[in-house]
Amino acid sequence: MTAPSRQGDPAAPLAPAAEEIGPVPGAAGQRRSRLSLILVNAIPPAVVFIVAVGIWQLVSYVFLDPSRRFLLPPLQTVIDQSFFTSANATTLLQGFWTTAYLALIGLAISMVLGVLIAIVMHQSRYIERSLYPYLILFQTVPILALVPLIGFWLGFSSMSRIVVCVLISLFPIIANTSFGLQSATAPQHDLFRLHRAGRPRMLRSLWLPAALPAMFAGFRISAGLSVVGEIVGGFFFQKGPTDLGILINTYVDELNTPVLFGSVIMSAILGVLVFWLFTGLGRLVYGRWKE
């Protein structure tokens, strides 16, 4: 006895025709799609860069007299004197590494303190209401007003620069982590309560994993701020190991504009690198399960 055929059943699902499926994209198609994605992401910044360099060269050669060209030296002069002159390139590279080292130390301290403060605030509404207004008030105080006081209290050394990095980069981590700790959904909370999970387990298995995207967003913001804080500290303190802040102040006093622009370029490169670093770390940590 054979099974009844469903060809006449109108409710039976129809198998797609072979010509309707279409060819499955192979490795060549995937490479073309990746190449097109790279081009789409790379061409607009490249166009903006070319336009900016063109405006730079136009102002330097057309709108400025040769006697005033030191105000905005041509790009090739900046590159030649900053990166192809051995003495200047070595000095800038040493300042780059010193700035990176101190800024990352300050950022690491900010990350630990910021996450801990956010967790403590999340455990109690009263603690959050008590601390958050003062954190906002502390963030609104200009860092330049605090730098001289930090120098008087802690001395004009590397420790003072690290403290400046911590102060300028702490608040974004606290704010983003606090927001992320509250991003877990109500059904997720109900599931943990159904299993009678305590607050330590909910913190470890629910709140912190849910906060990772916002937390790394705060890390990315604070990474650039930490670099700014270290350069500001070096610019004002003028003691300790030579960093980009000290070099910028030195080149300003010497009216060495080409190498001054080179130090500014190195500062921008460092900020971009630390931003990309935490972007990549974020993708490694939560990229597989978070859109």
Using alpha carbons, select from 140, 144, 166, 158 the residue that is nearest to residue 225: 166
pLDDT band at 64 (very low <50, low <70, confident <90, very high): confident
DSSP letter assigned to residue 50 = H
pLDDT band at 291 (very low <50, low <70, confident <90, very high): low
Percent of the chain at pLDDT > 90 equals: 49
3-state SS class at 129: helix
Transcribe 51-72 into DSSP letters: HHHHHHHHIIIIIS-GGGGGGS
Q: Distance of CA 1 to CAs 4, 185, Å?
A: 9, 55
Q: Burial level of 291, CB count in 10 A (0-12/13-18/19+)?
A: exposed
Average pLDDT over the chain, rounded to an integer: 85
Task: Report the alpha-carbon distance of residue 267 to residue 226 in Å, rounded.
Answer: 12
pLDDT tens digits for 70-117?
Answer: 889 999 999 999 999 999 999 999 999 999 999 999 999 999 999 999
**Low-confidence winner among 32-46, 123-137, 232-246 (lowest mean pLDDT):** 32-46
CB 277 within 8 A of CB 111: no
Higher pLDDT, 145 or 226: 226
Fold entry, domain 99-286: MetI-like fold (1.10.3720)
pLDDT of residue 244: 94
Over residues 6-11, the mean pLDDT reads 47
pLDDT tens digits for 161-206?
Answer: 999 999 999 999 999 999 988 887 777 777 777 777 777 788 887 8
Q: Say if pTM beats, i.e. exceeds, 0.85.
A: no
3-state SS class at 197: coil
Transcribe 213-230 into DSSP letters: HHHHHHHHHHHHHHHHHH
pLDDT tens digits for 158-172?
Answer: 899 999 999 999 999
| Residue 96, both tokens | 């780059």
Question: Which stretches of the chain are DSSP H helices?
Answer: 18-21, 27-58, 75-83, 86-123, 125-140, 143-154, 158-181, 186-194, 199-202, 208-237, 244-254, 257-286
Task: Report the alpha-carbon distance of residue 267 to residue 167 in Å, rounded.
Answer: 19
Using alpha carbons, select from 260, 235, 255 the residue that is nearest to residue 246: 235
pLDDT tens digits for 239-286?
Answer: 888 999 999 999 999 989 999 999 999 999 999 999 999 989 988 888
CB 206 within 8 A of CB 257: no
Task: Report the alpha-carbon distance of residue 95 to residue 101 in Å, rounded.
Answer: 10
Asked whether the predicted pLDDT for residue 6 surpasses 70, the reply is no
Asked whether the predicted pLDDT for residue 24 surpasses 50, the reply is no
Asked whether the predicted pLDDT for residue 58 surpasses 70, the reply is yes
Asked whether the predicted pLDDT for residue 227 surpasses 90, the reply is yes
Task: Report the alpha-carbon distance of residue 29 to residue 24 in Å, rounded.
Answer: 9
pLDDT of residue 28: 63
pLDDT of residue 1: 45
